[in-house]
Amino acid sequence: MKKRTLIFFTAAVLSSVLLARGLTQISNLPTEPVAVDPSTGVTVVAQTIASGLVVPWSLVFDPDGRLFVTERPGRVRVIINDTLLTQPVIDMTGVVAHAGEGGLCGITLDQDFAANHYLYVYHTYREGGLLKNRVVRLIENNNRATIDTVLLAGIPGQSIHDGGQIKVGPDNLLYVTTGDASVPDNAQRLSSLSGKILRMNLDGSAPADNPFPDEAPLVYSYGHRNPQGLAWDSSGQLYETEHGPSGELGARSNDEVNIIYPGVNYGWPNCIGICGDPNYMDPIRLFFPETVPPHGATFYYGDQLPMWTGSFFFGTSGFNFNPAARHIHRLLFDQLGGTTIVEEARLAQDQFRRIRDMIAGSDGFLYFTTSNRDGRATPLAGDDRVIRLRPQ
What are the residues binding Ca ion (CB under 5 A)?
266-267
| Pairwise CA distance, residues 223 & 190, whole Å | 9
| Conformation bin of residue 312: beta by default, left when phi > 0, alpha when psi is -120 to 50 | beta
Helix, coil or strand: residue 259: strand
Closest distance to Ca ion from the beta carbon of 65 (Å): 37
Q: Output the smallest distance, CB 270 to Ca ion, in A.
A: 9
**Cβ-based nearer residue to Ca ion, 57 or 266:** 266
Q: How far is the CB of 294 from Ca ion (least distance, A)?
A: 13
Residue 219, classed as helix, strand or coil, is strand
- Cα angle for residues 278, 283, 284 (degrees, 5° grid): 115
Residue 47 near residue 31, CB atoms below 8 Å? yes
Of the pair 124, 254, the CB lying nearest Ca ion is at: 254
Which lies closer to Ca ion via its Cβ, residue 120 or residue 266?
266
Nearer to Ca ion, 282 or 350 (CB): 282
Distance CA 145, CA 91 (A): 9
Q: Which residues pair with 368 in a beta bridge?
A: 358, 387
Q: At its nearest, how many Å lie between Ca ion and the CB of residue 315? A: 20
In terms of CB distance, is 125 or 266 closer to Ca ion? 266
Query: CB of 222: closest distance to Ca ion in angstroms?
Result: 10
* Least separation in angstroms between CB 275 and Ca ion: 8
Which residues is 141 bridged to in the sheet? 144
Q: How far apart are CA 288 and CA 62, in angstroms?
A: 37
Shortest spacing between CB 223 and Ca ion, in angstroms: 6
CB of 246 to Ca ion, least distance (A): 15
Q: Which residues pair with 133 in a beta bridge?
A: 124, 155
CA 61, 360, 353 angle in degrees (round to 5)?
A: 105
**Residue with smaller CB distance to Ca ion, 200 or 281:** 281
CB of 162 or CB of 363, closer to Ca ion: 162
Amino acid at 262: P
Q: Tell me whether residue 36 or residue 187 sits nearer to Ca ion (CB atom).
A: 187
In the bound complex, which residue of the shown chain has the CB atom lying closest to Ca ion? Answer: 267
* Distance of closest approach, residue 235 Cβ to Ca ion, in angstroms: 23
CB of 324 to Ca ion, least distance (A): 22
Closest to 158 in 3D by CA, of 127, 181, 187, 135: 181
Q: Which is nearer to Ca ion, 288 or 301 (CB)?
A: 288
| Burial status of residue 208 (CB atoms within 10 A of its CB: 0-12, 13-18, 19 or more) | exposed
Torsion of CA 235, 244, 39, 239, to 10 degrees: 0
Task: Kindly write down the DSSP assignment for every residue of 111-174, as one continuous string.
Answer: TTHHHH-EEEEEEEEEETTEEEEEEEEEEEETTEEEEEEEEEEEEE--SS-----EEE-TTS-E
Nearer to Ca ion, 73 or 273 (CB): 273
Query: Strand order in 196-200's β-sheet?
Result: 166-168, 174-177, 196-200, 219-222
